[in-house]
Amino acid sequence: MAALITFASPAAASVIMYAEHARMLLRCAGRDENDAQGIFTAEQLPAAIAALRAAVEAAKQRDAGAQAQSEAAAEAAGQPQPAFVPGLAVRAWPLLELMERARKKGKPVTWGG
């Protein structure tokens, strides 16, 4: 059974995701991905949101080139297009929404598994 991590805040509904994806997002937001639980205080949220958004933008740039290459290779080989694999932006969106709502209301975001 895969481990889950829940992100919670009094500002919005909780976000639950697989630990492997949550750890990646924690790392991008500047936290130790191995911390079983933690908190982004209201004061820490702007920096964490900015770091996560920067990681998403960098991943979009990187993924766009890789996807174009993969599609071109599949077309040249006469194979079907590769399956869609959710990138960092898709995985980060629910957490970013929670963080933004918490920031606007001055509330913390906690996580735990």
pLDDT (tens digit per residue) in 49-84: 999 999 999 988 887 666 656 666 667 777 776 555
The rounded distance, in Å, linking the Cα atoms of 96 and 37 is 18
Give the domain range for residue 22: 4-77+86-112
Of residues 29, 101, 88, the one with CA closest to residue 61 = 88
Q: What is the pLDDT of residue 50?
A: 97
For the chain, the domain total comes to: 1
- CB atoms < 10 A from the CB of 82, how many? 11
List the structure tokens of 79: 């194979």
The rounded distance, in Å, linking the Cα atoms of 94 and 38 is 18
Task: Determine phi and psi for 58, rounding to 5 degrees.
Answer: -65, -40
